[in-house]
Structure 1
């Protein structure tokens, strides 16, 4: 099951000319909203595997289509140039691309303005142990899949939150139900139900990813 963790970064770290920025994809020792704590060394094996491939995980916006199946885009918005573990967590350096386009300039502007001020990792837990106290699990080995730029509340200094796949599935089904209700309220009736049924099937397929 893929999971996500969000960590806020400072907009001042972004170079407006080159699009280069840095931050932390994850911070060790923080208890997230699902009572998980990432342990020091959790990314070691995954980073080694990526180095063996000669590349790093993709840089996406809001986790691409998995984060928003209706408007999400799986096309990378930049490249990660460095990733490593240090005493604090998973340190990353990256560069936004296509800054000569309206889309690239828009993302840069949103990051500089603090509207997009978070980094979020998509990962799969490979090894964990039972937690103690308020912690449910200690995450000891993580398979890193991608690192996204995301929006994050400005009053959170280093908040860590995990979004489970099960929650995404519930949101997708809810979105379909609301859309169906709205269409019926507007007396919009398709020639047949294949349109709505097809959309429902697509939503359920995305939810099972």
Structure 2
């Protein structure tokens, strides 16, 4: 069985132990020269659904250390997207949760068997794989596979506070709004740009001139995304 590791954003793990992110991304050359094709997981996921099973959630690929469950796995346009839940009633689950929140563990790693693949230039394309497990690991590798959001009570509370402050005419500081965007999975550079340009101008009441229309449009789109995450 082969393994591949990917980065995740551990600040997005909820108090309940749930998180949403990507176990793999498509079309990205990894450090060992592999590229995963869209559809590579489709048959394996279909088999799990048919047999009412799921890939395991393990600690560092150790089959004797399950730490949670994958509640939902699917392919989308970016890669293998999954919602996982750490089982906090177990010792290993609680330990993993604490390490994730502390930032001591930063990676996801898939365990799989290659079914179909072929050389492609200097790379090797994985066209079909049998997905066996997805582990939490301390070995980050691919920065493109990130947790993108968590539907947690904490995020919902942050958004409620954000909306209340806007209604009361006391908007949150720019840095606080940037933190909310980051908690929702917005990439750091984009979150900084949206908060420090579009949001900052909006709360100062500056007119929507042509010069700042792109930033304000991005701000409106980000707010719409945050609303959908909290619902």
Q: TM-score range by the shorter chain?
A: 0.5 to 0.7
User: Which residue matches 1:41?
Assistant: 39
Please state which structure has a larger fraction of its residues in helix: 2
Counterpart selection for 1:145 from 126, 132, 142:
132
1:76: which partner in 2? 66
Is the 1:23–1:119 contact (alpha carbons within 8 Å) kept by the matching residues of 2? Answer: no
**Which residue does 1:56 correspond to in 2?**
54
> Is 1:121 paired with 2:138?
no
Structure 1 residues not aligned, in runs of 5+? 66-73, 160-209
Matches of 1:147 and 1:23, distance apart in 2: 12
Secondary structure of 2:66's match?
coil
Following the alignment from structure 1 to structure 2, what is the Cα–Cα distance between the partners of residues 95 and 151? 18
CA distance in 1, matches of 2:84, 2:34: 27
Maintained 8 Å contact 2:67/2:90: no
Match of 1:92 in 2: 82
Partner residue of 1:110?
99
C-alpha displacement of 1:101: 5.3
Contact 2:30 2:142 in 1 (8 A): no
> How large is the Cα RMSD of the aligned pairs?
1.8
Higher relative CO (Cα under 8 Å, sequence separation at least 6) belongs to 1
CA contact (8 A) 1:37 1:138 kept: yes
Instruction: Call closer, same or farther: CA 1:102–1:59 in 2, change over 3 Å.
Output: closer
Structure 2: give runs of 5+ residues left out of the alignment.
Answer: 146-231
Determine the structure 2 residue equivalent to 1:11. 10
The separation in 1 between residues aligned to 2:108 and 2:17, in whole angstroms, is 15
Rounded to whole Å, the distance in 2 between the matches of 1:156 and 1:33 is 8
Runs of 4+ in 1 over 6 A off after TM superposition: none
| TM-score where L is the length of structure 1 | 0.65
State the match for 1:23 in structure 2. 21
